[in-house]
Structure 1
Amino acid sequence: MANSDSSTNPSHVHDDDPSRRDVILIGAGAFAAIGGAAALWPLVDQMNPDASTLSLASTDVDLAPIEEGQAITVMWRGKPIFIRHRTAKEVEEAKEVKLDDLVDPLARNANLPDDAPATDANRAAADKEPWLVMIGICTHLGCIPKGQAIGDYKGEFGGWFCPCHGSQYDTSGRIRKGPAPENLYIPPYAFTSDTKIKIG
């Protein structure tokens, strides 16, 4: 007589295998994902800025030693920052320029809305118009314009001249002649006292 016990029936021997297999597959997949992420982390982490770059996230500058008519260059995030203590004549010349005469009508000032017009008031330091703080990189091909050092040729407009392709900027750092498409950019900065600024 045949045994009717279902435990010996081959079709019921491994009824619970699919659920055990699912647990094993999920566990193996999770282990592989964690291992893959751990292996990739050094590659992702090395793309973060190094400590020396992060330490330059902001730069404090003392303006007291800069006399009227002088300019200095400081570094911020690996970029040259031009700071000029403009003369009254330079300020007046910059104010007299009509917006219609400008190649780029926008201020390019990180401290103002993107659509702010390129008036001298929107380019110079607020309430301290003799001071001009700009990123000293030509907007054409990334050269460093001349005009900071005494004796530098400042171009036809008395500001900065890029010798690579002849871009000329006025005393407010606005492009006036040459292939550069945009004004020199103004970085984020603020006066922390009458004679000190923090860039960044």
Structure 2
Amino acid sequence: MARDTDVMDLRDTLARNAMLPHDAAASFENRTIDAEGPIVVMNARCDRGQGFIPHYTINALETWFCTRGTERYDVIGRRLDTGGLGQESFEIPPHMVTADGLLILLTDAEMARLRSLEPSLHRSTN
């Protein structure tokens, strides 16, 4: 379902991926890491500023649901246009994947330092 979703059908069309330019589209590829299959790295918190953690619902919809604001997010954390008060998709934090497949979460300062050493670094995958 998430792979086939048209970005224009989302409430938030931005990837919100710290590894990409700020205006990158919320495509499946821009929200996942492809390392032997899709992996999702995201901060699963409602964007309403109160830090609520939505619950994952295992059903035909495969969505995250915030009981506080009634927002729904798809399986890769994109904000669906289903009502509720929240507007933004879950953020994807700065991260990298090492050659041996280790996932490392980075601070913003660490990411800035890596980019200064390797200006072409915009994604965690090749």
Q: Which runs of 4+ in 1 moved over 4 A?
A: 126-129
Larger strand share, 1 or 2: 1
Structure 1: distance between partners of 2:71 and 2:60:
10
Shift of 1:157: 3.2
Q: Show the counterpart of 1:109.
A: 17
Superposition map of 1:143-162 within 5 A: 143-147=52-56, 153-154=57-58, 157-162=61-66
Superposition map of 1:1-200 within 5 A: 93-126=1-34, 129-141=37-49, 142-147=51-56, 153-154=57-58, 157-176=61-80, 177=82, 178-200=84-106
The TM-score normalised by the length of structure 2 is: 0.73
Shift of 1:112: 0.1
Higher alpha-carbon Rg = 1
Q: Secondary structure at the match of 1:134?
A: coil
Shift of 1:94: 1.2
Q: Secondary structure at the match of 1:95?
A: helix
Q: Secondary structure at the match of 1:121?
A: helix
| Structure 2 gap segments, 5+ residues each | 107-126
Shift of 1:125: 1.0
Shift of 1:194: 4.2
The TM-score normalised by the length of structure 1 is: 0.47
Q: Secondary structure at the match of 1:133?
A: coil
Q: Quick check: 2:44–2:77 contact (8 Å CA) kept in 1?
A: no
- When the two chains are superposed, the root-mean-square deviation of aligned CA atoms in Å is 1.9
Q: Amino acid of the residue matched to residue 117 of structure 1?
A: A
| Structure 1 gap segments, 5+ residues each | 1-92, 148-152
Q: Quick check: 2:15–2:30 contact (8 Å CA) kept in 1?
A: yes
Higher RCO structure, 1 or 2 (CA under 8 Å, sep 6+): 2
